[in-house]
Amino acid sequence: MERRKGVDVHGPEQALIELSLELVRSNEELERFAFAVAHDLRAPLRSIETMTQLFLERNAGTLNEESAQLLDFVVNSAERMDRLIQDLLEFATVSQQAETSEVDAKAIAELAAQNLQEAVDQSEAIIVIESMPVIRANERQLLRLFQNLIGNAIKYRGENTPEILIAASSTAGKTVFSVKDNGIGIDPQYHQQIFDPFRRLHTDSEYEGTGVGLAICKRVVQQHNGRIWVKSKLGEGSTFYFTIPDSEPTKSTLAGISQ
């Protein structure tokens, strides 16, 4: 039976360690597999898109309306599938980029809002970011988290001009962040499901999207050993909350230590 450096473990404890190492290994394998599949799927898809567009351009004068519409549909479907694959890729690779450092949460939330400038301008959104602490987190992932939540707060605005309040409060051992909007709200029966990959409450023609954004948020938060949830009612806006524990190592750091 294998012995870990400096620690004498046997029996059920040893079995448990081996089991968790196996789990880490198979998780990594699954991530590599998802990455390879997603990456290889994109090339033929881009060919379908470009070739169809080229065909449409070259035959613009001779195609009847119905044929042109059908080919437009092919291009749109290829674009949509490409977005799905890109999101899936991001979902699969969240845990691969998890080094943490001290990050200024307010600066990251501001950067997320800046990255959404076009949507902010179009919707005339008002975004207020209150003071926030410096926390230990993966900067890239925290940026993606804020960006997905703010992006949704703008997208699901309904008839209202978006008013978005981003805040944080520190309690024992953790910081609780919140992103509050005045949009269409979410029926409580869907509050858990919306964090599952590909779970959408609307068709693409109502609101464009892939249904992976909140699943990525959940993965990022779990990676930081935190929790994410929503409080909302239909027609009354939504507030998304997530916690980041103080100076907690991330799941991948833990995996690294145990190897």
How many CB atoms are located within 10 Å of the residue 160 CB?
Answer: 13
Taking the least distance from each CB to ligand ADP, the nearer of 148 and 175 is 148
Least Å distance, CB 217 to ligand ADP, is 8
Interface residue with ligand ADP among 91, 146, 156, 177 (CB under 6 A) is 156
Listed residue (164, 211, 199) closest to 183, CA to CA: 164
Binding mask 105-144 for ligand ADP (x = CB under 6 A): ----------------------------------------
Name the β-bridge partners of 242: 177, 228
Min dist. Cβ of residue 25 to ligand ADP (A): 29
Contact present, 157 and 181 (Cβ < 8 Å): yes
Q: Three-class SS of residue 8?
A: coil
201 near ligand ADP, rule: CB under 6 A: yes
Nearer to ligand ADP, 151 or 226 (CB): 151
The distance of closest approach from Cβ of residue 21 to ligand ADP in the complex, given in angstroms and rounded to an integer, is 32
For residue 202, state whether it binds ligand ADP (rule: CB under 6 A): yes
Comparison of 62 and 189: residue with beta carbon closer to ligand ADP:
189
- 258 with 21: CB under 8 angstroms? yes
Phi-psi sector, 237: left (phi>0), alpha (psi -120 to 50), beta: left
Q: How many CA atoms lie within 13 A of 90 on its CB side?
A: 21
Residue 110 CB partners (closer than 8 Å, separation 6+): 129
Which stretches of the chain bind ligand ADP, using CB under 6 A? 148, 152-153, 156, 181, 183-186, 194, 199-202, 209-215, 238
